[in-house]
């Protein structure tokens, strides 16, 4: 499908541009001023995590998945934006990022509390298998099912795309994590992670709904 290839190419370009912008933000002279818009946003985020982590994560998950789906609808050049589709995407965001992910982090820290390099490596591998592979596999299947594809076909479709998805996952998130350690200042990280997650969720929306009857 040539159309699909062009869209994936343009997505890769956007991703590269965003990465470049983040590296530029990483210059020490651009540290987040506390009275700026971004500074206030970061403060608000920290406060809200402190007051109610559950609500914050659910809202964040919904927002990121919803925004990702909206972007995907633009890339797909939908004639009318489907708010139902955005709502269904947001619901998966609440479930995976708001409800599952925090439990997972607690559980994995409980099993491997050590910060020794070998345990960090084990945790990274488990993360990548459970979330990068299995999480995204189930997300694609669920998203497709919610958009009206029968259950068995949704799972088959997820099977057929999981390898390219996993490869993209590996490239995108390894690059981003390296940037986080190397270039992006700590104050920017919640925001930059949200931006990359929204792009990731655009990609997943795009893959999940590709080829479905309109
Ligand atoms: C998909 O993979 C990324 C990166 O590994 C991960 O952050 C995200 O949580 C995964 N999505 C789901 C729904 O598991």
Residue 67 corresponds to which tokens in the numbers above?
């925004």
Q: How far is CA 36 from the centre of its chain?
A: 26
User: pTM for this one?
Assistant: 0.82
| pLDDT reported for residue 16 | 75
Protein residue with its CA nearest to atom 14 in ligand 1: 135
Sign of the torsion angle spanned by Cα atoms 182, 188, 194, 199: negative
Residue 25 corresponds to which tokens in the numbers above?
């933000």
| pLDDT reported for residue 213 | 83
Instruction: Compute the distance from residue 167 Cα to the ligand 1 centre, in Å.
Output: 12
Residues in the chain with pLDDT values less than 70: 1-11, 22-33
Q: How far is CA 111 from the centre of its chain?
A: 25
| pLDDT reported for residue 3 | 46
To the nearest 10 degrees (0 to 180), the angle between helices 53-75 and 189-209 is 50
Instruction: Compute the distance from residue 214 Cα to the ligand 1 centre, in Å.
Output: 27
CA dihedral 203, 204, 206, 210 (to 10 degrees): 140
The best mutation among 60, 131, 196, 206 to test binding of ligand 1, ranked by most ligand atoms within 8 Å of the C-beta, falls on 131
| pLDDT reported for residue 4 | 53
Under 8 Å CB-to-CB from 204, ≥6 apart: which residues? Answer: 68, 136, 139, 140, 143, 165
| pLDDT reported for residue 190 | 80
């Amino acid at each position: 499908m040539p159309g699909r290839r062009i869209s994936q190419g343009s997505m890769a370009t956007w991703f590269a541009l965003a990465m470049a912008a983040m590296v530029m933000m990483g210059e020490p002279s651009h540290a987040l001023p506390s009275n700026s818009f971004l500074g206030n946003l970061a403060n608000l985020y920290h406060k809200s995590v402190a007051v109610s982590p559950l609500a914050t994560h659910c809202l964040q998950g919904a927002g990121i998945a919803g925004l990702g789906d909206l972007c995907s609808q633009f890339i797909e050049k939908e004639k009318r934006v489907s708010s139902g589709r955005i709502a269904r995407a947001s619901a998966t965001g609440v479930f995976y990022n708001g409800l599952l992910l925090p439990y997972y982090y607690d559980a994995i820290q409980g099993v491997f509390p050590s910060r020794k390099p070998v345990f960090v490596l084990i945790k990274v591998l488990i993360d990548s298998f459970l979330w990068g592979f299995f999480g995204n596999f189930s997300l694609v299947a669920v998203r497709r099912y919610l958009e009206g594809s029968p259950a068995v076909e949704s799972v088959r479709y997820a099977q057929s795309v999981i390898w390219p998805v996993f490869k993209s996952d590996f490239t995108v998130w390894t690059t981003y994590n390296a940037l986080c350690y190397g270039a992006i200042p700590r104050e920017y990280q919640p925001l930059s992670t949200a931006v990359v997650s929204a792009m990731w969720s655009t990609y997943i929306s795009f893959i999940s709904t590709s080829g479905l009857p309109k």
